[in-house]
Amino acid sequence: MRSVRKVAVWLFLAVERVLTAQIPLSPDYHKESLDPYPYFERDPRQWDLDEPHAVNATGNLVLETVNSLLQHWANTRYRIGHTIVPGIVPVGTILYHGAISGSHIPTALDWVAMEPEHSIVFCGGTVKLGCWHATFAVTHPMKVLYFDGSSAATIPEGTMDTQDLVAWSEMKPEWVDNEARRIQDLCKWALKNGVNGLVRMEINFEIMICNFTSHMDVISFSNLDSPRLVVDNPTTEDPNTLHHAFEVLHSASWRENYPGETRIILDYSALISFYDTDLVPSLVPRRVGLERWDHRVAGISPEDIERVKDRLAQMLERPAVTASAAWM
Ligand SMILES: *[C@@H]1O[C@H](CO)[C@@H](O)[C@H](O)[C@H]1NC(C)=O
Ligand SMILES: *[C@@H]1O[C@H](CO)[C@@H](O)[C@H](O)[C@H]1NC(C)=O
């Protein structure tokens, strides 16, 4: 009997060790997993769940953001991104691009969509010539960097802040609409750090591709009927435009909640959070008294920007840890 209990306790401890070893954000990850259960003695009955969390505490926000990465609804509601995560787009993933001109891969930096309903929106062309729609397959594991929040919404409220900081080491509100400059400078930084794609959330998830030939092959070019969208007038009653709008919203709805966009495999152990008060202490006073959706990254100090960029470069240097089992 005794030995059974011993085995049970051992099993419990082993499971607990595995669970605690899954804390991806702890800088003391290795040290902690070797320590003999520092939290084991704590009495859970001491917890008072009615007690509000400590002023300035951000652990809850880190966990909430981690728990909603690559999910459309949570990142629509909390649109100002506070997380940057490296990841991989695995071999065999299919990506889509609506080309304007002809059946050739983009010669400049450009975007791909995760769904054809999304890329077709960008598929221009005259009624006579139609539009060219490209389908790509990833041929080598493609390293990407994901910016959470509504990170492709070019609005002045702060959705671009984390990208500004990576591209330009400062906030550039005057360039909020300057997507050409943004992709150019983000890609310059990305290629230097071994990253070929920047993942963002628009009406659905999309990837800025820094090099169209290094990690993917064209599977097909289709000459489609031009979608002929009336995009300048959102109240349009043009049935063609409404039909496309429905299609793209419908495809986005597949990623609305957990598990979200599963074809992009994030490396949670390399995640960078602007709610990390050790990494970004300058934002703590900026958040005092604010609701979560008023939290901004603007106002971060130059020292903290440098620290974030150093940490990011460091994280991108290590081999990616992309567990196939989802632990969240
Ligand atoms: C893009 O990738 C190709 C193939 O790997 C390589 O030859 C080329 O130099 C790359 N271009 C840039 C701008 O990095
Ligand atoms: C919360 O942060 C503000 C700004 O840094 C600081 O003045 C205040 O003392 C902090 N409050 C607590 C309870 O730590």
CB 190 within 8 A of CB 214: no
Q: Is the CB of 288 under 6 A from ligand 2?
A: yes
| Percent of the chain with pLDDT strictly greater than 90 | 67
Q: Is the CB of 211 under 6 A from ligand 1?
A: yes
CA 43 from centroid of its chain's CA atoms: 37
Q: Is the CB of 213 under 6 A from ligand 1?
A: yes
The span from the CA of 147 to the CA of 69, in Å, is: 9
297 pLDDT exceeds 50?
yes
Q: Which amino acid is at 13?
A: L
Q: Whose CA is nearest to atom 6 of ligand 2?
A: 285
Supply the Cα-derived Rg of the chain in whole angstroms.
22
CA 275–ligand 1 middle distance (angstroms):
36
CA 126–ligand 1 middle distance (angstroms):
32
Q: Work out which ligand 2 atom sits closest to the CA atom of 56.
A: 1
CB 172 within 8 A of CB 307: no
CA 322–ligand 1 middle distance (angstroms):
25
Supply the pLDDT for residue 129.
87
Q: Whose CA is nearest to atom 14 of ligand 1?
A: 211
CB 16 within 8 A of CB 32: no
CA 288 from centroid of its chain's CA atoms: 26
Q: Which residue, among 317, 264, 234, 36, has the nearest Cα to 144 in the 3D structure?
A: 264
Ligand positioned closest to the Cα atom of 190: 1
Per-residue pLDDT reduced to its tens digit, 138-187: 999 999 999 999 999 999 999 999 999 999 999 999 999 999 999 999 99
DSSP H helical segments within 26-160, as ranges? 29-34, 59-67, 72-77, 116-119
The Cβ-side half-sphere exposure at 20, using a 13 Å CA radius, reads: 18
255 pLDDT exceeds 60?
yes
Q: Whose CA is nearest to atom 12 of ligand 2?
A: 55
CB 162 within 8 A of CB 297: yes
CA 231 from centroid of its chain's CA atoms: 26
CB 131 within 8 A of CB 233: no
Tokens of 276: 């990390």
Tokens of 200: 């963002």
Supply the pLDDT for residue 13.
39
Supply the pLDDT for residue 2.
41
Q: Whose CA is nearest to atom 1 of ligand 2?
A: 56
Supply the pLDDT for residue 229.
82
User: pTM for the whole thing?
Assistant: 0.84
Ligand positioned closest to the Cα atom of 52: 2
Q: Is the CB of 191 under 6 A from ligand 1?
A: yes
Per-residue pLDDT reduced to its tens digit, 181-196: 999 999 999 999 999 9
The span from the CA of 262 to the CA of 63, in Å, is: 19
In a mutational test of the pocket of ligand 1, which residue from 143, 192, 193, 214 has the highest number of ligand atoms less than 8 Å from its CB? Answer: 214
Per-residue pLDDT reduced to its tens digit, 10-32: 433 343 443 444 444 544 545 54
Q: Whose CA is nearest to atom 5 of ligand 2?
A: 285
Cα angle, residue 84 at apex, residues 80 and 86 outer, rounded to 5°: 150
Per-residue pLDDT reduced to its tens digit, 54-63: 889 999 999 9
Q: Whose CA is nearest to atom 3 of ligand 1?
A: 214
Q: How does residue 64 score in pLDDT terms, banded at 50, 70 and 90? A: very high
Ligand positioned closest to the Cα atom of 286: 2
DSSP H helical segments within the chain, as ranges? 2-20, 29-34, 59-67, 72-77, 116-119, 161-168, 179-192, 239-253, 284-287, 302-317
Q: Length of the chain in residues, anyone?
A: 328
Give me the residue spans of the domains in the chain: 59-316
Q: Which residue, among 12, 6, 254, 278, has the nearest Cα to 114 in the 3D structure?
A: 254
Ligand positioned closest to the Cα atom of 192: 1
